[in-house]
A and B are shown apart, each in its own frame.
Chain A
Amino acid sequence: MSLRDLLSPFYVWQRAFEKPYTTKRPTLDRPGAPAYRGFHINITETCVGCGSCHTICQNHAIDMVAVDEYVGRDGDSGLRPRFDYGRCCWCGLCVDICTAGSLRMSNEYAWISEDPGDFHFTAGIDDKPWQENALGYRRAEGYHLYPPKRITMPMLPVEESVNTFDEVVRGYDKEQAKKEADRCVECGICVATCPAHMDVPDYIHSIRDGDYEKGLQLMYRTNPFPATCGRICTRRCESVCPVGILGEPVAIRWLKRFIVDQVDKKDYPRILNEPIGESDFKVAIIGAGPGGLSAAYYLRQQGHAVTVYESRASAGGMLRYGVPSYRLPDVELDKDIEHILAIGVDIKYDTEIGRDISFETLLEDNDAIFMSTGLSVPSSMRIHGEDHPRVLSGLQVLADVASGRDPGIGKKIAVIGGGNVAMDAARVSRRLGADVTLLYRRRISDMPADDEEIDESQAEGVVIVQQAIPVEVLDADGTERVCIKWGEAKMVDDPKGGRPRPVLQEDRMHTETYDCIISAIGQSSDLGYLSSEVQDQLAIEWGRFKPVEYQHTMMEKVFVGGDFANRTADAISAIEDGHHAARGINRFLNPDAFIKAEMQDE
């Protein structure tokens, strides 16, 4: 060993008092660049927990976790992203995809901790100083990883649609459907909100794959009316679609329709090929509307002998007799119904319970009954002169047109109401050549009718007079005409916090003469086929059934569903009621098999 080697440790000591070349900790006085991709910020109030950030992250650095501050509800999973900074590569894709625009990055980059566990953090929930940081990476305005606007649906031009009962919506072609399907982030927020919990992300994915048969199979798992719902569903799924927060929601309804449109009806048995179980039980269903037929479809698969009793000449209920063909052509409704019947569901048309067969007989002859007779009685306005022969009900006008009868409305008519029946009656009347004025007590924004229906009715020339309260029907010259007296309303705030209420202004009254007045202010149930004793046993409240678990009523064998048992009164809720009741009936008839099947599903 040389002398130099021997002395070398002492040379090091020479350096001990010099300025060091490294720093003990990062300098905190050097801020990140203004658009630096630093630690994440999440505006948790805006975030809907869609998980797009989690899905897109190539490093699996984001988990969606439950947090105490939020609970799941329609349009919000209640989950929030949790970041693992051991994995994050700061690429910013999570910010770029964020559907709500709630995720961003601060320009903060220094975080010192001796505990590695600290670097898993839930942005916006765990208290961090950079949450309020105004600088850092933001998605550039107008920049989206998916197109914010939906693919425009081809429609019949208004000048054509107003003269025909042909379907207004023409449907996507393959290229359009694929482009629209590509906008879906597959988050599944819609699944929770859809009353039937349809597997929306997966059937939309089947469009991307071009595998329409798989798409059809997925839809039939929870909904045997896809052709119908693909046209007239109230699409609550779209109202919560996160893509709609910064753009337009994915056209889920039209994509569902697209899948059905691609599959020929004759191929349904091969594609769906439902296994039919074995059973000795008999189940009767009252009403061949969407609720009744949905129950029939799922009950039949268990092998039960299912008979549907329908008072009219055709099946479909309000879908056939209430929804006009320009929205839902008969051939499309029949595509759904014929497949349900094809798996062995028996149906007895023109058979009215209470007239042709008593409810009690049905109860005795069957092991279970599902009732879904809807809201078939038009509500009365209860104003003077309402029994005038030129006052028609909206339901009757729609049923006449659906059955090929002339409702005899004339050329200048008034429709009263703001729901879907009123809109359908108004648009049907336009197609029959009438000038249509629609009177509504509240504002257009308060109308329960679908927004699209309101817009399309106006485009077709329906004149909507809002805040118009009908107060009296009067005779006009001649028996073929009628007058309506109505007053202007002012909207007044409800002192108890409810929605604003219309108040008649007696000094602003109008009287107008029409060829007829179509009243469409609401519907109620016709329970005339049930004796008062049975009604009491069923525990009906406010004219509606109040089922307990699995659509079961207080009567041992009786299950209910559809418009007269739920508050939403739309086809998809009735379909789900039917499906749910089918499970309830299976549980009731064969509890052991039900529990086994449920465990297998899980």
Chain B
Amino acid sequence: MNTIDEILDYAIDQEQQAADFYEEVAKNAETASMKKILLDFSEEEKHHKKILQAVKTGEHELTPQQEILDLKIADYLVEVEVSKNISYQDALIIAMKRERAAYELYTDIAARVPEGHLREVLDGLAREEEKHKLFFETEYDERILTDN
């Protein structure tokens, strides 16, 4: 994975995989309301994929320098299992931890490549994932940690 296009293709594929993951979990979810939530998550990932496709064609620019708020909620919550009767709380934990893992991956790779356009793209991708993580963390803060 050396060229910028290859990296973007990888990132696009990751977003598609995430969308597929939520669709799969939705298929097994017991209630229609949870199915809908998981399908909404899947749509969110497809939206991310579209953004990256737009980056590849030059229609959208990444923002590698942008500072994103890190609520650090995903850092200290336990890993949870995917199950048929998954709760909204657990679905959010899975989502924010996936985004965190993706963010760390791009950050790690960026640290290993020399300064230049390639690193900027990787940093930009890391920022994107950080934004997605913030979205789920904010939702968790707002809806789950109501009394805390």
Which B residues lie within 8 Å of A536 (CB)? 31-33
11 contacting pairs across A/B (C-beta < 8 A): A380-B89, A382-B78, A383-B77, A419-B147, A469-B76, A494-B69, A504-B76, A520-B147, A522-B147, A536-B32, A540-B31
In the complex, whether B145 has a CB less than 8 A from a CB of chain A is yes
With contacts A503-B72, A542-B33, A542-B143 known, what are 10 further pairs, Cβ within 8 A?
A382-B77, A382-B80, A383-B76, A383-B78, A419-B146, A495-B69, A498-B138, A541-B33, A541-B36, A543-B33
For A488-506 the 0/1 string (1 means CB < 8 A from B) is 0000101110100111101
Q: How many angstroms between the C-alpha atoms of A491 and B88 in the bound complex?
A: 25
B147, A417: Cβ atoms under 8 Å?
A: yes
| Contact (A501, B146) CB under 8 Å given A379-B89, A383-B76, A471-B76 | no
| Contact (A492, B31) CB under 8 Å given A379-B144, A380-B89, A382-B80 | no
B145, A522: Cβ atoms under 8 Å?
A: yes
Q: Which residue of chain A has the shortest Cβ distance to B147 in the bound complex?
A: A419
A501, B31: Cβ atoms under 8 Å?
A: no
Contact partner of A422 (CB less than 8 A), chosen from B30, B69, B145, B147, is B147
Q: How many angstroms between the C-alpha atoms of A504 and B76 in the bound complex?
A: 10
A539, B33: Cβ atoms under 8 Å?
A: yes
For B81-97 the 0/1 string (1 means CB < 8 A from A) is 00000011110010000
Q: Which residue of chain B has the shortest Cβ distance to A423 in the bound complex?
A: B147
Contact partner of A532 (CB less than 8 A), chosen from B31, B37, B88, B89, is B31
In the complex, whether A212 has a CB less than 8 A from a CB of chain B is no
Which B residues lie within 8 Å of A144 (CB)? none
Task: Across the A-B interface, give the 3 residue pairs with the lowest CB-CB distance, nearest first.
Answer: A419-B147, A521-B148, A471-B76
Which B residues lie within 8 Å of A448 (CB)? 146-147
Contact partner of B138 (CB less than 8 A), chosen from A419, A471, A472, A494, is A494
A376 CB, min distance to chain B CBs, angstroms: 15
Interface residues of B (CB under 8 A from A): 30-33, 36-37, 69-72, 75-78, 80, 87-90, 93, 138, 141-148
A492 CB, min distance to chain B CBs, angstroms: 6
A503, B70: Cβ atoms under 8 Å?
A: yes
In the complex, whether A60 has a CB less than 8 A from a CB of chain B is no
B75, A540: Cβ atoms under 8 Å?
A: no
Interface residues of A (CB under 8 A from B): 379-384, 386, 416-419, 421-422, 440-441, 448, 469, 471-472, 492, 494-496, 498, 501-504, 506, 520-522, 524, 532, 535-536, 539-543
Counting chain A CB atoms within 10 Å of each CB, which of B143, B145, B147 scores highest? B147
Q: Which residue of chain B has the shortest Cβ distance to A439 in the bound complex?
A: B148
| Contact (A521, B31) CB under 8 Å given A383-B76, A498-B138 | no
B147, A521: Cβ atoms under 8 Å?
A: yes
A522, B33: Cβ atoms under 8 Å?
A: no
Q: Which residue of chain B has the shortest Cβ distance to A530 in the bound complex?
A: B31
B125 CB, min distance to chain A CBs, angstroms: 20
Contact partner of A417 (CB less than 8 A), chosen from B36, B90, B142, B148, is B148
Q: Which residue of chain A has the shortest Cβ distance to B32 in the bound complex?
A: A536
Which A residues lie within 8 Å of B145 (CB)? 441, 521-522
Q: Which residue of chain A has the shortest Cβ distance to B75 in the bound complex?
A: A504
Q: How many angstroms between the C-alpha atoms of A160 and B130 in the bound complex?
A: 53
Which B residues lie within 8 Å of A541 (CB)? 33, 36
B33, A540: Cβ atoms under 8 Å?
A: yes
B31, A535: Cβ atoms under 8 Å?
A: yes
Which A residues lie within 8 Å of B32 (CB)? 535-536, 539
Q: How many angstroms between the C-alpha atoms of A384 and B77 in the bound complex?
A: 7
Q: How many angstroms between the C-alpha atoms of A506 and B59 in the bound complex?
A: 39
A262 CB, min distance to chain B CBs, angstroms: 36
Q: How many angstroms between the C-alpha atoms of A383 and B147 in the bound complex?
A: 16
Which B residues lie within 8 Å of A382 (CB)? 77-78, 80, 89-90, 93
Q: How many angstroms between the C-alpha atoms of A381 and B89 in the bound complex?
A: 10
Which A residues lie within 8 Å of B147 (CB)? 379, 417-419, 421-422, 448, 520-522
B32 CB, min distance to chain A CBs, angstroms: 4
| Contact (A535, B89) CB under 8 Å given A418-B147, A422-B147, A448-B146 | no
A560 CB, min distance to chain B CBs, angstroms: 14
Q: Which residue of chain B has the shortest Cβ distance to A469 in the bound complex?
A: B76
Q: Which residue of chain B has the shortest Cβ distance to A448 in the bound complex?
A: B147
Which A residues lie within 8 Å of B80 (CB)? 382
A501, B141: Cβ atoms under 8 Å?
A: yes
B140 CB, min distance to chain A CBs, angstroms: 10
B74 CB, min distance to chain A CBs, angstroms: 11
Q: How many angstroms between the C-alpha atoms of A381 and B87 in the bound complex?
A: 13
Which B residues lie within 8 Å of A504 (CB)? 72, 75-76
B67 CB, min distance to chain A CBs, angstroms: 9
Which A residues lie within 8 Å of B148 (CB)? 381, 416-418, 440-441, 521-522
Q: How many angstroms between the C-alpha atoms of A506 and B72 in the bound complex?
A: 10
A530 CB, min distance to chain B CBs, angstroms: 9
Q: How many angstroms between the C-alpha atoms of A540 and B31 in the bound complex?
A: 9
Q: Which residue of chain A has the shortest Cβ distance to B30 in the bound complex?
A: A532
Counting chain A CB atoms within 10 Å of each CB, which of B33, B70, B87, B141 scores highest? B33
A176 CB, min distance to chain B CBs, angstroms: 34
B59 CB, min distance to chain A CBs, angstroms: 24
A58 CB, min distance to chain B CBs, angstroms: 51
Which B residues lie within 8 Å of A532 (CB)? 30-31
Q: How many angstroms between the C-alpha atoms of A532 and B30 in the bound complex?
A: 6
Which B residues lie within 8 Å of A383 (CB)? 76-78
B142, A492: Cβ atoms under 8 Å?
A: no
Q: How many angstroms between the C-alpha atoms of A522 and B70 in the bound complex?
A: 23
Q: How many angstroms between the C-alpha atoms of A541 and B142 in the bound complex?
A: 16
Q: Which residue of chain B has the shortest Cβ distance to A536 in the bound complex?
A: B32
Q: How many angstroms between the C-alpha atoms of A421 and B147 in the bound complex?
A: 9
Q: How many angstroms between the C-alpha atoms of A405 and B30 in the bound complex?
A: 37
Q: How many angstroms between the C-alpha atoms of A520 and B147 in the bound complex?
A: 7
